[in-house]
Structure 1
Amino acid sequence: MKPLDTTLALLITAIWGLNFSIIKLGLATLDPNLMAAIRFALCALPAVFFVPRPNVAWHYWVVYGLLFGVLQWGAVYAGIYFGLSAGLASLVLQMAVFFTMAGGVFFFREQVSAPMVLGTLLAFFGVALVFAHAEGQATVLGLTLVILGAMAWAAANLVVKRAKPASMFGFMVWSSLVATLPLLLLSYGFAGPERMAQSLASIDGTALFSILFQVYPTTLLGYAVWNGLLKKYPVSTVAPLTLFVPVFGMLGSVLLFGESLPGYKWLAMACILAGLLVNRFGGSWWQQWRGPLRA
């Protein structure tokens, strides 16, 4: 990747990492599905009246909206709501890298390498550590939901790779419109109209800041840049850069909520980050190591 593109990717991962703690701030007063619906409604409106529809088949941005908005973030919001800390949510969601790479192998014939297998095993061991230390059904449910969100994000990445829209901003705006109604229906079905009304009435400055941060820097800027990189570079090159998201996610959770970092969290983070590093750089390391042996 070009240096400028790498810098942009790192900036986006910093925003995304901090976003998990910002989400938790908003969930103190808002129902998770309702907050997600508001987020994507503001991503779509009023921009949808001024931004042309994406120049790809309509089913691409519709499917992306359902995967990204409803399944990914709906699951992540619910996971944090049901007890998973913001820092751990940012860490576990990075399993999307491995699901994305698996999809790249299956759908785009990208090669499977030994570093990819080793990195995947390391990362799954880290997630297993988190599961082993989960306390209570709520936290286990939260972990499960975030893993489902990671699978949905991987599928959404593959949709972008297949669609290759010319305008990533327009693609995000129109797909956000698709996500809004299903999220509202989920909120109505699980929380009910009274809880929805209470959530809306309780929006304060903190909740408003949380929503706006999620809408503008996180979604419209972040995913427009990220999807542009996915269109420009191979999936296996872009996806591993999200290894920086949990670093910023853990830091934000410690600073904002005083989240503790016992040994198992450090080990889990080390395993997942090591897995991502092996996936990203293991091939070149292996070639450099084998070179002198062949000589």
Structure 2
Amino acid sequence: MNVRASSGLGPRDFAIAAAMCVLWGFNIIAVKLAVEALSPFTAAFLRQVIVLLVCWHGLRIVPGRMGPLVLLGILSGGLFYVAINLSLAVANNVSALAIAGQLGVPFSMILAVIFLRERIHYIRIGGILLAMAGVGLLVFDPAAGRELPGIGLTAIGSFIWAICSLLQRRLVGVPVLTIYAWIGLMGSVVLLPIALLFESAALAGLGDVPLSSLGWVAFSAIGSTVLGQGAMSWLLQRHPVSSVVPLTLGAPIVSVVAASLFFGTPLTPLMILGGVIALTGVAVVTIRSARLSEARERLWKGATR
């Protein structure tokens, strides 16, 4: 079968998508190690500083978009990492957090229904329920049940991510580099006073941190944020959303498996079942949403001709 003819994606596209999933999947390991070496807020602050430096030349005023752009920076660059880094600081079973992180997709769908009056039917409702049920199973697993504080913080982070996904809809047409420059700037502004208040000793001791630990922060900032998001943008510029979105579903699988192997934490049958159910729900919601979005776009283009 000709891959390109059937999906529009060629070997280079699949290679880029695979690299993207690996970068995103291994990011949870990098963040966990950075949090342990630097403290949660200090690691988050340093990550956003690196993002800002890498994306600095994209920083510019975007007329009519500054409200959502600044708010996105505060939430996505600041508060999101407060919740996520704290969750990794208090948890040992990182794989359980990777599964709980899949709540972002159903949360964003629910918010779209409430605030954007988006209509959903039984297929996506079923996907939302599956995703939530999969994460809910973790509560009944002794290996994951001990991580309830971390799972709760991950759920809060996922909810913030869902809000950010709505804000990004208002930033269509704004260059990705500009968006992440503002995320890096506003994230740094939010996280610095928090780190100074709670982790002043960690900030003062940054000069003594081993380069290997700083490397994990750099991996998160450059590998996951800049290169990972850049790969996603590159694919979306060349292929339909419905072809690209399924490729991202490999990232949580990489996260769960890699975290279990790297940290030697148990991946029990109940956790695997919960992960499969959650990922199935996420797949239903994301793929269905992408196809509906493309269908609406085709109708709009046809009506404007």
Q: How many Å apart are 1:107 and its aligned residue?
A: 4.2
Output one character per residue of 1:204-245: Cα deviation in whole Å (capped at 9) or x when no partner: 132122011111121112234446778999989876654322
Rounded to whole Å, the distance in 1 between the matches of 2:70 and 2:254 is 31
Output one character per residue of 1:236-261: Cα deviation in whole Å (capped at 9) or x when no partner: 98766543222100221133222221
**Consecutive unaligned residues in structure 1, runs of 5 or more:** 284-295
Task: Give the residue type in structure 2 aligned to 1:221.
Answer: L
Task: Give the residue type in structure 1 aligned to 2:220.
Answer: Q
Contact kept, 8 Å, 2:94 with 2:260, in 1: the verdict is no
Say whether 1:197 aligns with 2:204.
yes
Contact kept, 8 Å, 1:29 with 1:207, in 2: the verdict is yes
**Consecutive unaligned residues in structure 2, runs of 5 or more:** 1-6, 290-305
Partner of 1:127: 135
Rounded to whole Å, the distance in 1 between the matches of 2:117 and 2:237 is 16
Rounded to whole Å, the distance in 2 between the matches of 1:60 and 1:47 is 18
Alpha-carbon spacing, 1:116–1:232, altered in 2? closer, same or farther (3 Å): farther
Task: Give the residue type in structure 2 aligned to 1:3.
Answer: L
Contact kept, 8 Å, 1:75 with 1:148, in 2: the verdict is yes
- SS of 1:3's partner is coil
Q: How many Å apart are 1:281 and its aligned residue?
A: 5.5
Return the match for 1:149 from 144, 150, 157. 157
Say whether 1:159 aligns with 2:167.
yes
Rounded to whole Å, the distance in 1 between the matches of 2:183 and 2:209 is 25
Q: How many Å apart are 1:178 and its aligned residue?
A: 0.7
Return the match for 1:89 from 83, 97, 118. 97
Rounded to whole Å, the distance in 1 between the matches of 2:191 and 2:248 is 26
Alpha-carbon spacing, 1:273–1:197, altered in 2? closer, same or farther (3 Å): same
Output one character per residue of 1:99-145: Cα deviation in whole Å (capped at 9) or x when no partner: 12223334444431212111111111121122333679982221111
Partner of 1:245: 251
Partner of 1:287: none
Q: How many Å apart are 1:12 and its aligned residue?
A: 2.2
Return the match for 1:186 from 194, 203, 207. 194
Contact kept, 8 Å, 1:97 with 1:240, in 2: the verdict is no
Return the match for 1:32 from 37, 40, 43. 40
Aligned residues: 281
- For residues 39-118 of structure 1, the aligned pairs below 5 Å read 39-45=47-53, 47-48=55-56, 50-53=57-60, 55-56=62-63, 57-118=65-126
Contact kept, 8 Å, 1:126 with 1:267, in 2: the verdict is yes
Rounded to whole Å, the distance in 1 between the matches of 2:108 and 2:8 is 22
Which region of structure 1 is more displaced relative to structure 2, 147-156 or 255-264? 255-264
Alpha-carbon spacing, 1:190–1:150, altered in 2? closer, same or farther (3 Å): same
Contact kept, 8 Å, 1:66 with 1:178, in 2: the verdict is yes
Q: How many Å apart are 1:82 and its aligned residue?
A: 0.6
Alpha-carbon spacing, 1:178–1:258, altered in 2? closer, same or farther (3 Å): same
Partner of 2:300: none
Alpha-carbon spacing, 1:165–1:97, altered in 2? closer, same or farther (3 Å): same
Alpha-carbon spacing, 1:22–1:109, altered in 2? closer, same or farther (3 Å): same
TM-score (norm 1): 0.82
- SS of 1:163's partner is coil
Rounded to whole Å, the distance in 2 between the matches of 1:227 and 1:24 is 26
- For residues 214-229 of structure 1, the aligned pairs below 5 Å read 214-226=220-232
Rounded to whole Å, the distance in 1 between the matches of 2:211 and 2:242 is 40
Say whether 1:172 aligns with 2:180.
yes
Task: Give the residue type in structure 1 aligned to 2:203.
Answer: M
Identity over the aligned pairs, expressed in percent? 25
